[in-house]
Amino acid sequence: MTTTLPSDLNQAMTVVKYEILKYLRGKKLLVFLGLITLIMVLFTAMPYLLGERAGLPTDAGELMIWYMAFIMILIILAVTLFAADSLASEFEHRTGLLLLPRPIKREVMFAGKFIASYLVSAIMILIFYVSVFVISFAVTGEVTSKGYTSLGMAMLYILAATGLGFLFSAFMARGNTAAILLFACLLMIFPIIDVVFMFADIEPVFSLTYNGDSVYYALTDAETNSDFGFTTYVPKLSSAAPVLAGWAILTTAIAAFKFKRREF
């Protein structure tokens, strides 16, 4: 049989299609959707159940901040679930023995997997934002423009965090190890380093998590201050965006390079 091999782009899109099918048929997506639903229900019902408020905030900005209390953890969970084991699992579960001997470049397969992971994480977070936007419109009659800025920063942070997830996945033998490492870095290790720098009165302008916090700070009017005896730095959107883009490019490039050279 004589066939013409598809272009790299077409092959990458094929990988995207079947990777997304993996998530659609897996349990991770359902778990994450369940979590989003739970958060929405709890945050909507809590003000009424606790009786501390006369319902949800009526100011669009305050309402957005109310719902976005866990947005950073949601993003970290999304990339941990949908990115961290994407490459490592091909080696760990030996599924790579099926696809890697096919006439497809490793970097093309990498691109397909990366796009699929990013799309799934981004869509999950987008669903959360859109749900909050709908509630905001229903309760306050408007959606704060800061919500859209936060959404934009969230999409960029997911890109950078997915890059870091793929970097760990490219180097680690096991998907679970890569997932734990990514979760620990984004939730604890990097933020601790950020705080250490702040105590030393140095703004961690290079940090992934420090700049990632702009997803939340974009909703507030917080600014860098020295109210408590030391300087609490707040990332500026103008510098956070390029730093996050830099993290995305650097981690993705190293991950792709490692995946291309990784041997069975």
Partner 1 sequence: MGDPIVLEGLTKAYGDFVAVDSVDMKVKKNSFTGFLGPNGAGKSTTLKILTNLTKATSGSAYLNGIDVTKDFKGALANVGVVVETPEFYPYLTPHETFNYIGELNGMSKESITARGDEILEFLKMTENADKRIGEFSKGMKQRVALGQALLVDPEIIILDEPTSGLDPRGMVEMREILKGLSTSGLTIFMSSHIMQEVSYLCDHVAIIERGKIIADGDVKDLLATNGMRHIEVTTLKDITDAHLDTISSWSEVDSITRLTNHQMQIKLNGGDSEQAALMSKMHAMDLGVYNVSSQGADLEKLYMELVKETR
**Residue of 21, 45, 46, 192 interacting with partner 1 (CB under 8 A):** 21
- Residue 114 neighbours by CB distance under 10 Å: 26
**Residue of 141, 227, 238, 261 interacting with partner 1 (CB under 8 A):** 261
For partner 1, the closer of residues 104 and 219 by Cβ is 104
Dihedral over Cα of 153, 155, 157, 160: its sign: negative
- Residue 95 interacts with partner 1 (CB under 8 A)? yes
- Residue 107 interacts with partner 1 (CB under 8 A)? no
**Residue of 51, 55, 103, 141 interacting with partner 1 (CB under 8 A):** 103
Start-end of H helices in 26-94:
28-50, 60-67, 71-82, 88-92
Distance (Å, whole) CA 175 – CA 214: 29
For partner 1, the closer of residues 16 and 161 by Cβ is 16
Distance (Å, whole) CA 177 – CA 261: 20
- Residue 25 interacts with partner 1 (CB under 8 A)? yes
- Residue 52 interacts with partner 1 (CB under 8 A)? no
Choose one: 91-99, 199-207, 214-222, 229-237; the region binding partner 1 (CB under 8 A). 91-99
Applying CB under 8 A, the site for partner 1 has a residue count of 29
Smallest distance from partner 1 to CB 111, Å:
13
**Residue of 41, 99, 130, 249 interacting with partner 1 (CB under 8 A):** 99
Choose one: 11-19, 171-179, 228-236, 247-255; the region binding partner 1 (CB under 8 A). 11-19
Contact residues for 104 (Cβ-Cβ < 8 A; gap 6+) = 11, 15
> Which residues are registered as beta bridge partners of 225?
232
Smallest distance from partner 1 to CB 81, Å:
15
Contact residues for 251 (Cβ-Cβ < 8 A; gap 6+) = 160, 163, 164, 166, 167
- Residue 100 neighbours by CB distance under 10 Å: 15
Locate 134 and state its tokens.
Answer: 């709908």
Structure letter (DSSP) for residue 84:
T
**Residue of 18, 48, 137, 230 interacting with partner 1 (CB under 8 A):** 18
Smallest distance from partner 1 to CB 74, Å:
25
Identify the burial level of 236 via C-beta atoms within 10 angstroms of its C-beta, where 0-12 means exposed, 13-18 middle and 19 or more buried: middle
Smallest distance from partner 1 to CB 94, Å:
4
Strands of the chain (E only): list them. Answer: none
**Residue of 49, 54, 98, 173 interacting with partner 1 (CB under 8 A):** 98
